[in-house]
Every structure is written in C-alpha cells, then in structure tokens.
Amino acid sequence: MEPAVLYLGMGCDSTRLIIKHLETPRQKRKFKIEAVVSSQVGDESVLIKEQMEKCLYPILAEEGIRTVQIARKSSSLKDGYVVLDDTTNPTECYIRPTPKKIFHRLSDEMLWSGIIPQRAHKKRLCSSKFKKEILSEFHEKNFSWCVKLIGFNASER
C-alpha cells in the first residue's frame, strides 16, 4: 500500500471518503492512511464539531489513525500554521480559538479586510489562504513522502 495523508474538509463528502476507505478490506486498500489532517478556519458550525466528535473521531481513534488539526497562526501567511491537536485518540474538534489554542480566524480576516465571503464559479476563494496554503506547507514539512488525498465538497469540483 502506498502511504497517504487524507486532508479532511470536515463535510459529508470527505468524511464519507475516510469511512469508505476504512470499510474496504485491508488487502484491497490502495493507500495506507498515515494521518488525517484538517485545517480549521475558526468559524465551523457546532454541528460540524458534533459530527467530528461523535461520528468520525471515535472511528479514527479505534483505527489508531493519527489525527491532526492545524490553523493559520496569524494574519500573515509568513507565520505559517499552529498545530491545535496531534493525536491517535482525537476527542475534541477545535472550531474556535481558546486561550490555550490561539489561531487566526477566517471571519477575523474578512472583517479586518472589509470583505464578504468570496464565491465564484462554485469555488470558495477566500478560504484558500486558510486551507490550501497552510495544508500544503504542513504536508511539505511533515509528509512530503506521502500521497495527498484531498476531501472536498463534491459540488465544488
């Protein structure tokens, strides 16, 4: 099996991708999932938090899959990302900054810049700096030897 990291969008489609992979018998799997990584924008819904904590995290913990949550460290991309959690026993989905888990939120960026969410051609342009760029940096520093599997909303193709 080829080593891979699954980048989780935390929606139904990327969650289903993980579950489908784990339901596949080991001998038929193409990839060995080294980690599941999500990039928090800081404005995820409570429903997403509950979905992760009650449905997906217990499965990942049972399988012993390394689960990493990262977020943008500051308003400058040069500052990179902060690791909110890195464990094989995930229990909490960090959807908001806390005094112990400080990170820069997408909504803070939009308010500071005076912009509204940008959507064009079914693409979420404003979240690129909060997901794509820091996930790419994280991958290069930690998993450059692995294939990237990226979960995203099927309607955004």
- Which structural domain range is residue 104 located in? 2-156
Binned at pLDDT 50, 70 and 90, residue 64 comes out as very high
pTM for the model stands at 0.86
- Residues 83-99 pLDDT 10s: 999 999 999 999 988 88
Burial grade of 141 (CB within 10 A; 0-12, 13-18, 19 or more): exposed
Question: In the structure, what pLDDT confidence band is assigned to residue 127 with cuts at 50, 70 and 90?
Answer: low
The answer to whether 41 and 106 are in contact (CB under 8 A) is yes
pLDDT at 24 over 80: yes
- Give how many domains the chain has, as a whole number: 1
Sheet architecture: strand order including 31-40: 81-87, 66-72, 31-40, 2-8, 147-150
